[in-house]
Chain A
Amino acid sequence: MTQSGTSLWQDAWKRLSKNKPAMVSLGFIVFIILVAVLADVLSPYSYETQNTVERLMTPNSKYWMGSDQLGRDLLSRVIYGSRISIAVGMIVAICALISGGIYGAVSGYVGGKIDNAMMRIVDVMYTFPSLLLVILLTVLFGRGLFGICVALTIVSWVSISRLVRGQVLQLKEMQFVEAAHAIGVRNWAIIFKHILPNILGPIIIILTFEIPSAILTESFLSFIGLGIRPPLSSWGSLANDGFQAFKSYPHLIVFPGLAIFFTVLAFNLLGDGLRDALDPKLKNVSP
């Protein structure tokens, strides 16, 4: 045993860096996030300038992804669309993780009747058809960035709370937690110092799988015309715009669709890689 110098995280990183698909995905994710942040600098044209002379162009050297019905450059629109899509994915994943995580942790840690009652609520949430609920919630909260994120968070926290509760229940029975109790460590200190660091691995994995699922759901919503509204546009709403004319100009829908596909694929492959690297036994977190 000469591993005494490496921590769990260094070990995990070592395993992850050997996983080629996961590393390529990580690179791609960094790239997409940079594109979203630097959209102003990177996009060759304005995303809203209409050029009625050059409408519905197929991809060419001037417009790499072609132009749409109003003569707007599709590449620039896809670049700006990444902002909304990525933002929705990240915001929803983080909010759902915080709310679902705290809910599940409290439920699992407190246990007893309170746990029972809290899990009943989760059961009821599970029975709701989630896509219908999202649609109804967006009717209520509006279809801006805020409304979409709130609606998606409300349907996403449930499964996270179940997972976190399961993890906490397992850890609670562990001897080191019992020992901490025995020497009089306070509850909050046990939660933050002993339990939280031990479920950080699963939490990171959940986060990586939650982001693409939020991106996909948002794109579904926007594609059927019940998601983000103009002037904002996401990859899903770009695909919806392109849908009207796709029989003659398929590139209008294929490029936004591919952007969604590659991003979601990258997050999923990274999630698979992280799961293998952090906890090979953890099988039930994948979508």
Chain B
Amino acid sequence: MTLVYILKRLAISIPVLWLLVTLTFLFLRIVPGGPFDQDKALPPHIKANLEKEFDLDKPVVWNTKKWSEGHYIQFFTETQYFYAMKKLVHGDLGPSFKYRTRRVTDIILESLPVSIELGLYAVLFAFLLGIPLGILSAHRHNTWIDHTSMFFAISGVTLPSFLIAVILIYFFSIQWGMLPAGLWDSGFEYKVLPVVALGIRPVAIIARLMRASVLDVIQADYIRTARAKGLAEFPLMMKHVVKNSLIPVITIAGPLVAAVITGSFVIEHVFAIPGMAKHFIQAVTNRDYTLVMGVTIVYAVFLIVANITVDVMYSVVDPRIKLS
């Protein structure tokens, strides 16, 4: 049943992806300025050759010349859009317009693991810190512990992530010289600051949600019964309260993935991490059509998978919710 549901959702996602790809394609073609417009103009014949190589010598969406010649099918096929789609279906994103000797797929394969690693550590950090914080806050409801941790939580949601990153770098790298101020290497010390800076916002989101959830569960009748039977506070919290409060927290993968992706744009910029977000920013500025397209597709697939996962998780953790 679940498998059928997942397959159905994936099938619906295909037209959505197609729409996204088409819109991105059109956006990039509408804006003035092409990838080969540089400060120093290229010799016309070189530019013409380059444009031929990248299919840019064809019209964008329809080829009126072919229409007037009576080739009605080529009206659609002899276009940049059709060529791009044809290559895309074959899994070929083409060469990068900016780094002409490299293929977009290679650039993505190189930078995606970096972004995933950063994002995964940040999510892990968020759960490890956010859940205990939320439990503590709810258990000491309306005490100074609650107020302090909730003040930190709301600060975590409102602090711009570049400010967190810069403060961390200033103290840990520049003042105390404990950790490197940037770059991404295999060493553990390179990961601490970016992961913490990226993770603060998710920590805050999880802590707030966990607190609300625990407060909700604590009022339930079965908790009162357990208390009345004389169950000690610690096993009560662990076995009955926390277990049941985790349900809504597990299911926030969607907003969490979105927060991590958004955050990674700033964090990869500040720490000079060679991930996808950094490539995307550069690609947009360079009008690197193919690279923008590739990165957009990867991010969209991520979001789609995250959304489906959320809906499936809902029904797994709470069997009362039916998938439809």
Contact = CB atoms under 8 A, between A and B. Distances in A.
Interface of A: 124, 126-132, 135-137, 139-140, 212, 216, 219-220, 223-226, 236, 239, 243, 246-247, 250, 253-254, 257-258, 260-261, 264-265, 268-269, 283, 287
Nearest to B255: A287
A53 B2 CA distance: 70
A82 to B, nearest CB: 15
A268 B158 contact: yes
Contacts of A265: 154-155, 158
Contacts of B28: 136, 139
Interface stretch (B43-51, B78-86, B125-133, B297-305): B297-305
A258 B280 contact: no
The 6 closest A-B pairs by CB, nearest first: A257-B163, A264-B158, A129-B299, A265-B158, A136-B27, A131-B262
A280 to B, nearest CB: 13
B16 interface: yes
B90 to A, nearest CB: 24
Contacts of B20: 127-128
Nearest to B30: A140
B196 interface: no
Nearest to A258: B163
Contacts of B5: none
A243 B160 contact: no
Q: Interface extent on B, as a size class?
A: 35 or more
A128 B166 contact: no
B27 A137 contact: yes
A58 to B, nearest CB: 14
A19 to B, nearest CB: 14
B296 interface: yes
A260 B163 contact: yes
A246 B266 CA distance: 15
A220 B270 contact: no
A247 B160 contact: no
A224 B269 contact: yes
Nearest to A124: B16
A220 B292 CA distance: 19
Contact of A127 (B158, B160, B174, B303): B303
A198 B57 CA distance: 58
Contact of A124 (B19, B30, B159, B166): B19
11 contacts: A124-B19, A126-B307, A127-B13, A127-B303, A135-B284, A136-B292, A216-B158, A220-B265, A225-B285, A257-B166, A265-B155
A134 B28 CA distance: 13
The interface centre, meaning the residue of B155, B266, B284, B285 with most chain A CB atoms within 10 A of its CB, is B284
A223 B268 CA distance: 12
A243 B166 contact: yes
B212 interface: yes
A65 to B, nearest CB: 15
B253 interface: no
Contacts of A127: 13, 16, 20, 300, 303-304, 307
Interface string B295-324: 110011011100100000000000000000
